A = this chain, B = another copy of it.
Amino acid sequence: MEKLYEKITDHILQKVKSGELKAEEKVPSENELAAAFGVSRMTARKAVDNLVSRGYLYKVHGKGTYVSNQKEKIKIYFDEMTGFHERAVSYNKTAYTVVIRFEKKDPSEWVRQKLNLSEGEVYYIERLRFIDGRPVVFEISYMPVHIFPELTQEKVEVSKYDYLKELGHEILWSEKEFFAVMPDASIQQQLHINDRTPVFKVELTGALETNELFEYTKIFYNQTEFRFLERVGKD
């Protein structure tokens, strides 16, 4: 026996895929769907929420439910994200970085392990990057203080890596781990997304020419408004 909410999910999905329901068009309300399919509102709601999670629909509290518009999303290549200002601007987009938090503190045991640190403080840095006024990326970085004794909020607002070069350092290697996660409340707030929207996440560990680990960073990508791509072997 097929589940009741699956019937409704499939019914709406078919209309979206076939184009009968077009981008930005309004979907029947939860009450209307419940009446039309002869189910309770909670069941109709679960059906709609499934499609919200999968990115086909989005809801606006007090207004209604609408079909998402994939084509409007802005494409971003990862190599544009390093040297953030320069390139993004060249594509006729405004781009800037806001430092949400910048402080020295004692790292947790977890961060200590990630940075292979036995002692000493780290910088805790939260940055939010915008393109065309919309939040693209939220970053949380941990960097050992002893490697960057003079790091300031101003330097971090521009580029961490530029400052690295100024100090005469180079990046020997880095390691990235990739995740799909559901956002916690703070991520939802920063990226202006809801609790049903999965988020693409990268954890980054970087090492200097001395093999010392100089950063552990968590990066959260807002894929409701942007698309994230990588090119290999093409100019």
Contact = CB atoms under 8 A, between A and B. Distances in A.
Contacts of A135: none
A150 interface: no
A179 B200 contact: yes
Contact of A180 (B6, B184, B199, B230): B199
A44 to B, nearest CB: 15
Contact of A232 (B175, B184, B227, B232): B175
Interface in A181-235: 181-182, 184-185, 195, 198-201, 207, 221, 223, 227-234
Main secondary structure of the interface of A (DSSP, over half): strand
Give the one of A6, A50, A207, A230 with max B CB within 10 A.
Answer: A230
A136 to B, nearest CB: 14
29 contacts: A6-B185, A50-B195, A53-B182, A54-B182, A55-B181, A171-B233, A172-B234, A173-B231, A173-B232, A173-B233, A174-B231, A174-B234, A175-B229, A175-B230, A175-B234, A176-B229, A176-B230, A176-B232, A177-B227, A177-B228, A178-B178, A178-B200, A178-B228, A179-B180, A180-B181, A180-B200, A180-B223, A181-B198, A200-B200
A181 B180 CA distance: 7
A142 B201 CA distance: 27
B54 A181 contact: yes
Nearest to A55: B181
A2 B119 CA distance: 38
Interface residues of A, number: 35
B195 A180 contact: no
A198 B177 CA distance: 16
A3 to B, nearest CB: 10
Contacts of A185: 6
